[in-house]
Amino acid sequence: MERTKQRPHVIVLTYPAQGHINPLLQFAKRLASKGLKATLATTHYTVPSIHTKTISIEPISDGYDQSGYNQAPNLPTYLDSFKTVGSKTLSDLIFKYKDSDSPVTCLVYDSLLPWGLEVAKKHGIYGAAFLTNSASVCSMYWQIEKGVLSLPVGDGMVPLVLPGLIPLGFCDMPSFLAQPVGIHSPYLEAILDKFSCLELNDWVFVNSFEELESELANALLGHWPVEMVGPMVPSMFLDQQIEEDTNYGASLWNPIGDQCLAWLDTKPPKSVVYVSFGSMAQISAEQVEEIAWALKGVNKPFLWVLKEPEHEKLPTEFSNSTDQMGLVITWSNQLDVLAHRAVGCFVTHCGWNSTLEGLSLGVPMVAVPQWSDQPMNAKYVEEVWKVAVRARKDGGVVRREELEVCIREVMVGERSDEIRRNVSMWRELAKRAVSRGGSSDQNVNKFVQVLLTGEK
Ligand code: UDP
């Protein structure tokens, strides 16, 4: 009997946080849609949160199989454990497929887990890093790692002018750099670690698209085997009828889904303010209070995602007020919300996924960055892509008056028409990039072709 032809098999390894699972899962689905066999490898406790019919999901261990990072005393200990136990269980997984009819040909690993490359080399398969930040942010970190920019960034060095980037002030830099060095050093170390050997990969994928960061795409090309493959936003692929639905298919928290959409259905087009600060940010009680009164002051319907522990920070008078125009929920299906015609403004922390989602679904934004790469994303959405207004902090907090002004500016103010025009343009460019023949689509095809033909 003739044996069916083997499909090349790619394992995609993700860090177990929402902002990492989403783009990597989407990338795995994308590869499956182009004829490869794709398997997502993730920790035991995140497997039940992922629902997809198009790819396989396989558990590996980070050494904390019950609830992961929360069990670990600190980030370095967690990452060390993940490296030791993860390398072994990932290796076992690759080995498991060795004599099957789908041996693993390539490992695409989340760049926060740089040991993935060693595992790939050990098995003699292709190794590719996937970067979940913008190319601009990656370029900045990379320049630090390579010593082009030395830390700490002192007063005399700002505005900071680096190749391929716009001039950056202190408040525009990733928070780990703007703080006195040392405060967040475990994070900075973990991040810089991922840039130490990118050039040794067969490919380096970035969740961005050439049109969005064109200068960077060219500048980085000389240093890494880089391919821009984003945006990894499921709704963008709908016209190709290859995706299962409009969502990623992974949720570490339970979304308040139908109730939320039914409520949005009752609101006029572009009237609702959607507020979400993603999965990681911890919002101070003072900031929660300022947002609450700003939303009240704006006097428009609002949908506010406030994670469970933060609910307690809502001012009692706000929670009790009977004339509330909004819903405060613990988790949403963000893509469904952003795609809804009633949503007219996205107040966002500028996590990279949220930024790409707002841009790809054409929603004007108010940027309220919290930490990590978010200040730099905020700088770009406001000044480079011109799809947002950034709310400025005063004493470490965005005050209610400032937030009110920014929301009004984006929805009805002088700049609102221009912002809407720009964000519509970016939506079209994002869609074009991932559509058949678009820049990101071609970059994915080149990779798939190598795996299908075995010729690099
Ligand atoms: N998200 C969601 N529901 C929410 C809030 C966020 O589905 O209520 C998703 C959002 O669509 C995005 C991810 O969680 O894909 C958050 O990633 P991002 O990079 O924006 O921020 P992080 O959580 O990493 O700070």
pLDDT tens track of the chain, all 456 residues? Answer: 444 567 899 999 999 999 999 999 999 999 999 999 999 999 999 999 999 988 999 999 999 998 888 899 999 999 999 999 999 999 999 999 998 889 999 999 999 999 999 999 999 999 999 999 999 999 999 988 888 888 888 888 889 998 889 999 999 999 888 766 666 678 888 889 888 889 999 999 999 999 999 877 777 767 889 999 999 999 776 555 454 567 899 999 988 878 899 999 999 999 999 999 999 999 999 999 999 999 999 999 999 999 988 999 999 988 766 566 999 999 999 999 999 999 999 999 999 999 999 999 999 999 999 999 999 999 999 999 999 999 999 999 999 999 999 999 999 999 999 999 999 999 999 999 999 999 999 999 999 999 999 888
- Catalytic site residue 110? yes
Which atom of ligand 1 approaches the CA of 331 most closely?
Answer: 8
Tell me what pLDDT residue 320 has: 67
CA dihedral for 177, 179, 185, 190, sign (positive or negative): negative
Q: How far is ligand 1, taken at its centre, from the CA of residue 251, in Å? A: 9
The answer to whether residues 228 and 217 touch, using CB atoms and an 8 Å cutoff, is yes
Catalytic residue among 9, 62, 110, 373: 110
The ipTM assigned to this model is: 1.00
Burial (CB count <10 Å: 0-12, 13-18, 19+), residue 353? buried
φ, ψ for residue 175 (rounded to 5)? -60, -30
- Catalytic site residue 80? no
Q: Where are the alpha helices (DSSP H) in 334-373?
A: 334-339, 352-360
The number of angstroms, rounded, from the C-alpha of 307 to the middle of its chain's C-alpha atoms is 18
Tell me what pLDDT residue 3 has: 47
* Whole-Å CA distances, 34 to 8, 242, 404, 437, 442: 11, 9, 46, 13, 12
Residue of the CA atom closest to atom 17 of ligand 1: 19
Mark residue 362 as left, alpha or beta (left: phi above 0; alpha: psi -120 to 50; beta: remaining).
Answer: left
Strand ranges of the sheet holding 388-390, from the earlier edge strand across to the other edge? 326-329, 302-305, 272-276, 343-348, 365-367, 388-390
Please enumerate in sequence order all residues whose Cβ is within 8 A of that of 149, keeping only pairs 6 or more positions apart, or say none. 140, 143, 160, 162
Residue 280 neighbours by CB distance under 10 Å: 15
What angle is formed at CA 173 by the lines to CA 426 and CA 158, rounded to 5 degrees?
A: 115
Which atom of ligand 1 approaches the CA of 374 most closely?
Answer: 25
Tell me what pLDDT residue 1 has: 41
Tell me what pLDDT residue 2 has: 44
